[in-house]
Chains A and B, each alone.
Chain A
Amino acid sequence: QVTLKESGPVLVKPTETLTLTCTVSGFSLSNARMGVSWIRQPPGKALEWLAHIFSNDEKSYSTSLKSRLTISKDTSKSQVVLTMTNMDPVDTATYYCARSLGTGAFLDYWGQGTLVTVSS
């Protein structure tokens, strides 16, 4: 059974760096057809894709947030980590990780999401 679970702080201060971890089970991050994306959703707003890591460790980032994001994975721990620097109140959102299978970025399994609030 495939599951993904996000973890990290619920509250961060402006200018701080956010580190989120996605722990997966039911599949291997080393599987050639697997990838993991991070997506966020501010309260009451639409989904915004952030970053993706492929099985071969290639990465892709949102054009607008690229300078602030880093995605990495630890296959032995079944974890994908996203860091976002210089947090601002507008970054308050629910952050999701999701799995993609195959060559396209169709996101077939999602974590439950974690709400991160940015406030002093």
Chain B
Amino acid sequence: DIQMTQSPSSVSASVGDRVTITCRASQGISSWLAWYQQKPGKAPKLLIYAASSLQSGVPSRFSGSGSGTDFTLTISSLQPEDFATYYCQQANSFPVTFGGGTKVEIK
């Protein structure tokens, strides 16, 4: 199975900050990577697919980059509604695997 490692596991930031989350795959997955946002008590929401494609309706302050084994999710200017947990997921091959999550907290 492909292992997905996210860092950091948590980050404290203020409104307006730029936040970067990284995800590393244990083997190359080309651009077969997705990012999800999850708020407490809610289902995850797809933000980014194919490493850098913004899902419809997702604000442009979210962006993704990377290919192969190293990927990044960037929030350019953190908004109050962005405080949540973020997960990466590889979609290169089955079984699908998720990263351990990054909690973005209020500083």
Q: Mostly helix, strand, loop or mixed at chain A's interface?
A: strand
Q: Mostly helix, strand, loop or mixed at chain B's interface?
A: loop
A107 to chain B minimum Cβ distance, whole angstroms, is 6
CB neighbours (8 Å) of B34 from chain A are 106-107
Query: Known interface pairs A46-B101, A48-B98, A49-B97. Does A110 touch B44 (Cβ–Cβ under 8 Å)?
Result: yes
Give bound CA distance, A112 to B97, whole Å.
20
Residues of B within 8 A of A (CB): 1, 32, 34, 36, 38, 43-46, 49-50, 55, 87, 89, 91-92, 94-101
B91 to chain A minimum Cβ distance, whole angstroms, is 4
CB neighbours (8 Å) of A107 from chain B are 34, 36, 44, 46, 89
Residues of A within 8 A of B (CB): 37, 39, 46-49, 52, 60-63, 96, 98, 100, 104-108, 110-113
Residue from B44, B50, B89, B96 having most chain A Cβ neighbours under 10 A: B96
B64 to chain A minimum Cβ distance, whole angstroms, is 12
Contact A60 B50 (CB under 8 A): no
Contact B55 A108 (CB under 8 A): yes
Residue from B32, B49, B101 having most chain A Cβ neighbours under 10 A: B49
Contact B96 A108 (CB under 8 A): no
CB neighbours (8 Å) of B49 from chain A are 104, 106, 108
Contact A112 B43 (CB under 8 A): yes
Q: Which residue of A lies closest to B98 (CB)?
A: A47
CB neighbours (8 Å) of B99 from chain A are 46
Residue from A48, A62, A63, A105 having most chain B Cβ neighbours under 10 A: A105
Give bound CA distance, A104 to B89, whole Å.
11
Give bound CA distance, A105 to B87, whole Å.
14
